[in-house]
Structure formats: structure tokens, C-alpha cells
Structure 1
Amino acid sequence: MRTTVGIIGAGPAGLLLGRLLDDAGVDNVVLESRDRAYVEQRQRAGILEHGTAEALRAAGAGERMDREGLPHDGIELRFDRRRHRVDLPALTGGRNVTVYAQTEVCKDLIALRLDGGGPLLFAAEALAVEGAETAAPRVRYRHRGRESALECDYVAGCDGFRGVAREAVPEAVSRVFGRTFPFAWLGILADVPPSHGELVYARHDRGFALLSMRSPTVTRAYLQVPDGTHAAEWSDEEIWDELDRRLETDDPSWTLHRGPVTAKSVTPLRSYVHEPMRHGRLFLAGDAAHIVPPTGAKGLNLAVGDVVTLARALTLRHEKGDASLIDAYSRTCLRRVWQAERFSCALTALLHRAPDATPFDDRVQLAGLDRIAGARSAETDLAEGYTGFPLD
């Protein structure tokens, strides 16, 4: 099989890239190692930045998001039994975020792809990227028990941290930066309406807590736990009790709504960046190139930024023969990636209690949160980072 752009991975990044290239008249093929049901059901991110929502609308994938998604104009910080709301639009010139799960984004983009888009092969395992330094790279893959090759002009590696795309970049030209945090998140889904209309980020002496949602009837919540924790170690009652403690406030009007827990998982926290994000005619996007701690809700949004940048570059090359944006791809994306890493790591450090934290460290955290609550400049910096850095 032959195409202009071979896309490995049918997560939001690969699917959106395929959609954008379809709209630009650039033929492409998407290979996905899992089946459709898995892609449409795996639970991942749920917060869309302002720019991500706009990119989905521009690609024709925003109708259901606008109908069923939950626009949020603020977040709440809790610390020292205090509540402080950050008004996102007031601080950013009208920008906000939307709660809309990654699973739903994938469903929308898959439906568009199957309704007149380019080929999308599920259960097509990419085995290797070959010839990335040449004018004719290829992706070897296995589909329906047979090995085949996808001949391309360009390859987009949207296949995650453990995919084959990043492995095709030689160690001699790679630079890797990373950090592993000494704690994890215990996350739950529960069949109970959210206890608050906006996300709540809580700093507590017992550890961080996040109160989120997936819909008006489904709560998503997280607790900071020691690294290496297993979800089965926590009973449902223990989780709700701990959320109650960490979200405590002097405001008697607020209470935590409890309900049946339908899913539990533990997510380790780490940062990772691979430079460069381009090698020859191979481009890395999303988790294949970078991972951020989930505190800032940047993972999915960074992936969207990558593929919007890549689609513009490949479209310019297709329409005008101009490779300038292709040559600038890695440099352009990495500026945004490092800003997101900075924001996510700083927010993580501000809200989580390290295992070896001292009373001095506690006071510094509280001073940082008090600064956000009391200084518009600090609050604006948080709001601008949270709603997203420009895609340009």
C-alpha cells in the first residue's frame, strides 16, 4: 500500500492529523494496533484547552462536543481550609476549558474518518519504521495475520511512549530529558453527580486531591498516593473518607457527594521529553515525544498542538512545495512542550506534598497559593497556562 503520510496510532493525535490532512487533500493512512472498541473505551484525559476545542471545531469534529461537553469558566483552589476561584475568561481575554473525555473525541474523529475519510486500519500492529532518513520511508505492520509494508513520503509517529516510531530515531541523535515523581494518583470514576460545578484542586497536609467530572452524572476524582500503590489496597469507603479530609473547608455550604465507584486505577507521575521530534521524514507527536504529569491537564492538548503544527507543515509542502514549516516542526513544537512541562511541574510541586516535605516546605507551598489568591499577575499566569499556550 502507498500513501503520502503514514500515521501510526489512532488516538486523538493520529485521528485529528488524518482529518486535517484529508481536509487539505493530502492522502494518508492510519494504522492502529488495537481494535475499535478498545480505542473508543480507554479512559484518558478529559480537559480540553480553549485552542484544542477550537481545533476540533475547525476540523468538523466539534458538534457533539459543543452539545454534550461541559464548558468551564473557572477552577477552584483549596488550601488551608480556604476556597479560591480562578476566573479563567476574566484573566485570559475570554478563554476557558471544556470537560469532554478523550474517549468521546476519539469516537467523533473515528466516525468522521469512516464517513468518507482515508483508510483506517484497526488491529494493524506497526512493527518498525524503516528508511526514515530516505525520501521513501516505510512502515512495516501486521494486519489479519499478514505482514505488509506501507510506503510513504512521510511518517507521523502518534503511537505513544512504547510505540515503534520513537525507536526509529537513532540514539546518536536523540536527547532525552525526564523526571519521575515520588508519588502517584489513585483515580476513580463514580456514578454520582459532581459535588462542585468546576474542578477543585486541593493542597492538603495529607496530600493532593482533585475533584473532577466526566458528565453531569459521573464524578472523576484523584488522590495523591505513594508511588507503587495498587488500587485494590483502597476500599471505596476509604477513598471517599480521604477525599472528604483533603477537600475540607470552613465553608459549611459544601459537602462531598458519595456514590458507587465503578473504576479505580493508579497513574504514576513523570515528565519526559524526546528531542528532536523529527528525524528525516519521521515526525513524533504526542506521548511518543513527551509526557507531562497530569496536574496541568496538558497531555492530550499538547498532542493536538503537535498535529495541528504538523498538518500545517505538510499542507504547505503539498500545496506550494515549501518545506520551511517541516524543517521548523521540532523547534516549533518544543517551545510549547517545554512551556507545558514548566507549567505542569510547577503546579505539581505547588499542590503535592513530597514524602520528605518539611514544615518549611509546607509554608512555601501555602505562600505560593496565597500569592495566586492575592495577586492578579500570579493568578493570570496560572489561568493562561491552564487554558493553554497558543498553537502558533
Structure 2
Amino acid sequence: MKTKVQVAIIGAGPAGLLLGHLLRAEGIEALVIERASPDYVLGRIRAGVLERTTTDLLDRLGLSDRMNAEGLPHDGFNLADGERLIRIDIAALTGKQVMVYGQTELTRDLMDAAPGRGLEIVYEAADVALHDIESDRPSVTFQKDGSVHRIEADFICGCDGFHGPSRQAIPASAGQAFEKVYPFGWLGILADVPPCNHELIYANHENGFALASMRSKTRSRYYIQVPLTDQVEDWPDDRLWDELAVRLGPDAAASMTRGPAIEKSIAPLRSFVFEPMRHGRLMLAGDAAHIVPPTGAKGLNLAASDVAYLSEALIRYFQQSDSDGIAAYGPRALARVWKAERFSWQLTTLMHRFPDTDPFARRMQMAELDYIASSTAAQTTIAENYVGLPL
């Protein structure tokens, strides 16, 4: 194991692995440090809709063959208002597509390619801590196989998620968090059944939000909005399938195939942004710096755009001795982050029932959906944001 590297990356999720590959492709020494095991990392059931920004990065690295063979390109998606499907034709409105390809599969591709490309990953690193991030030679310590290891680096990149140590290493006086916690969660079920529609359906129903999604032509992912007080045990499979049929509407219900859950869980929803995304020689990326509600499919894609900006800045620094990109990284990334936060918050507000939703607020939701159904301009705005704003 190296003791000195140019870039130490905390976290072996998609953001950390993608950053490591981009740096290694340019000959930059990078070491990825991950607290969990490879199996645990791959066991996280997360996003499945990839923007063009994300797929372009995989193409650039030559790691998109399996995605292109097994992923599902989508030209649009649907909003349901209880009476109709409002199709947002993103291909016609933007000239682009999104790709349905599970985060687990993308992570597996990045993991499998690491040894052959010289990207070293240390798994099951305990007690990870960051040191001297305001100096020109920060370091990371961790325990592995009964020993304490110290890695010195020129830069540390925190790609370790919302609960990781990287953001916590920034002094409280040097940062500010912006947060909105939503008063409900998403109960999700993953099942080996064909999807009920060839495109995603986001449904606004009087019982609450529902989403029909998929991971492949034979594996489906469904969600319903539930109170935060609910437990998974409150929702046996039959009850959940029955509720999905009601909220998604009769057409989707008629095409729905039921099956036993492979995985079932409840995820709380929040909007969160931490500023700045750089402090000294520490840069944050992905969930370490921001969280979006999953309604807009932005979480993984925002991590990818962070990594695109960050890798560009680091490559300029090491290859051209140009530090301007490092200084500009945070503001540049945050400009895109806040736009994605706006879109995810807006779509979440439109499609969910809040505890304080009164008859007027409900009428506003329905009026907005009716306007979207009849307005090419409104649909274009949604399509541009859903497919991903330019870098």
C-alpha cells in the first residue's frame, strides 16, 4: 500500500470510483479508501436513471460497453394525475435520452476495471480520519488488518456520503448547511417482475405519491410515499402491491406483474447542501456535499457532474501547475447543484401529499399538472432539467 499519493479519495461509491478512474487515465496517482466491504458497497440499492453527463463520462473512460448492452435508453417519462398520463418526450424536446442502468451495475463496472487500470482501492478501512486539510500536505489515517496506516496526499477528495468523515473535518465556522427535511419517506420494493410500463411513471394520487420504475426488462422498482412513522413490517407485499395499483391508476395496474420482494426498505427524503465544497486541500463531491430527494433522479448524476468538474481541476493542477481550477471548483459545482436541488424540490412538491396540504394547495397541484399537460414550454423546462443541464 502506498504511503504517499497525489490524491486520496475517501469513499468507493460511484463518485469516488469514477474520480479515481478519471485521474488514473491521466497518470495521476490516486488511492481510494472505503470503510465497507466490496459486497456491502454493491448491496446498496440506489438510483437507476443516468443523465447524458454520466454516460458520457463512462464512454470517455471506455467503461460503457455493458451499460450500452444491458441498459435501457429512455426517450421520455410520465407524470400521472389520477386521470391521465402526461408524457414528457425528452428526446423530442431536447434531442437527448436518459439511460436506465442500476447504480449497483455501474459501481460493479468501475470496481471490476480498477485493478487493470492501476486504481488501488482499500476496503474495510476502519476509523478513517482526515488531518491537516488546511496545510499543503494533508493526510488520511485508518485502521486495516490490525494496523494504523497514514496516507499523505496533495489533495483529499471526500466522496464518502452524507455520514462520512470528510465533511465533518471542515470546521463548523468555515461552512454552512442548508437543509429541508420532508415529512414522509419512500417505501420501495425491488422485485424480479417485468415493469408495468416501458417508461417511468411518477404519480400524484390522493393517497400519496407513487413511482413505477425499473432496473431491467425483468426487474422492477416501485415506490410509494409513506409517513415517517411507518415500518417496513407494516407493509407486507400484498398490501404494497394493492396500494401501488390504486395510486398508479387502472392502466398501470392492468399491466402490473406482482412478485415477492427481493428488497424492501423505507428511505427518508431531504434536500441538503453544504457550502463551501472546498476547504483547504479537501474537496467534497456527491452526497458528502449535497442530498436531493430522489424524485428528480439527480443524486448519482450530481455526483458525476461534481467529479467531472473536480477531475478537470485536479488534472490542470498536476499537468499544468494551474491552481485556478481548484479555486473555482466549489462555486462551479454549486451552481449546478442548486439548479438540480430546485428541480428536485419542485417535482417533489408537485407530486406528493404533504400533511399540511389544504384544498387550495391541492388545487394548485392539479392546476400545475393541467398546465404541464397542455404546454410545450412547460414540458420542455421539465425535460431539460430531467435529462440534465449542461456542465
- Any unmatched runs of 5+ in structure 1? none
Match of 1:81 in 2: 83
Q: Return the match for 2:35 from 33, 36, 43.
A: 33
Q: Which amino acid aligns with 2:284?
A: L
Q: Residues 1-392 of structure 1: matches in 2 within 5 Å? A: 1-92=3-94, 94-125=95-126, 127-249=128-250, 254-391=254-391
2:197–2:252 contact (8 Å) kept in structure 1:
no
Range 77-86 or range 284-293, more displaced: 77-86
2:191–2:259 contact (8 Å) kept in structure 1:
yes
CA distances 1:141-176 after superposition (whole Å, capped 9, x unpaired): 111121111100000000111111101111111111
Q: Give the C-alpha shift of residue 126 in structure 1.
A: 5.0
CA distances 1:274-298 after superposition (whole Å, capped 9, x unpaired): 0000000000011100000010011
Paired residue secondary structure (2:306):
helix
Structure 2 distance, partners of 1:153, 1:100, is 34
Q: Give the C-alpha shift of residue 247 in structure 1.
A: 1.1
Structure 1 distance, partners of 2:229, 2:128, is 31
Structure 1 distance, partners of 2:62, 2:132, is 34
CA distances 1:17-62 after superposition (whole Å, capped 9, x unpaired): 0000001111111111111111122211111111111111111211
Q: Which amino acid aligns with 1:224?
A: Q
Q: Which amino acid aligns with 1:60?
A: G
Q: Give the C-alpha shift of residue 358 in structure 1.
A: 1.2
1:31–1:126 contact (8 Å) kept in structure 2:
no
Structure 2 distance, partners of 1:267, 1:253, is 24
2:196–2:252 contact (8 Å) kept in structure 1:
no
Paired residue secondary structure (2:325):
helix
Q: Give the C-alpha shift of residue 80 in structure 1.
A: 3.1
Q: Which amino acid aligns with 1:14?
A: G
Q: Which amino acid aligns with 1:41?
A: G
CA distances 1:291-339 after superposition (whole Å, capped 9, x unpaired): 0001001110011111111000000111111111110000000001000
Structure 1 distance, partners of 2:67, 2:274, is 31
Structure 2 distance, partners of 1:299, 1:179, is 16
Q: Which amino acid aligns with 1:101?
A: G
Relative to structure 1, is the Cα distance of residues 126 and 20 closer, same or farther in structure 2, using a 3 angstrom cutoff?
Answer: farther
User: TM-score, normalised to structure 1's length?
Assistant: 0.97
CA distances 1:189-235 after superposition (whole Å, capped 9, x unpaired): 11211111000010011100000011111110000001132111111
2:82–2:203 contact (8 Å) kept in structure 1:
no
Structure 2 distance, partners of 1:308, 1:166, is 20
1:8–1:126 contact (8 Å) kept in structure 2:
no
Paired residue secondary structure (2:12):
coil
Structure 1 distance, partners of 2:118, 2:340, is 32
Structure 2 distance, partners of 1:119, 1:256, is 44
Structure 2 distance, partners of 1:247, 1:387, is 23
Q: Give the C-alpha shift of residue 259 in structure 1.
A: 1.8
2:245–2:253 contact (8 Å) kept in structure 1:
no
1:296–1:343 contact (8 Å) kept in structure 2:
yes
- Any unmatched runs of 5+ in structure 2? none
Paired residue secondary structure (1:227):
coil
Q: Give the C-alpha shift of residue 253 in structure 1.
A: 9.7
Q: Which amino acid aligns with 1:19?
A: H
Aligned-CA RMSD value: 1.2
In the alignment of these two chains, the number of paired residues is: 389
User: TM-score, normalised to structure 2's length?
Assistant: 0.97
Q: Which amino acid aligns with 1:278?
A: R
CA distances 1:94-129 after superposition (whole Å, capped 9, x unpaired): 111111111111110111111132211111235211
1:5–1:29 contact (8 Å) kept in structure 2:
yes
1:75–1:85 contact (8 Å) kept in structure 2:
yes
Q: Which amino acid aligns with 1:367?
A: A
Structure 2 distance, partners of 1:301, 1:331, is 18
Percent identity of paired positions between Structure 1 and Structure 2: 50
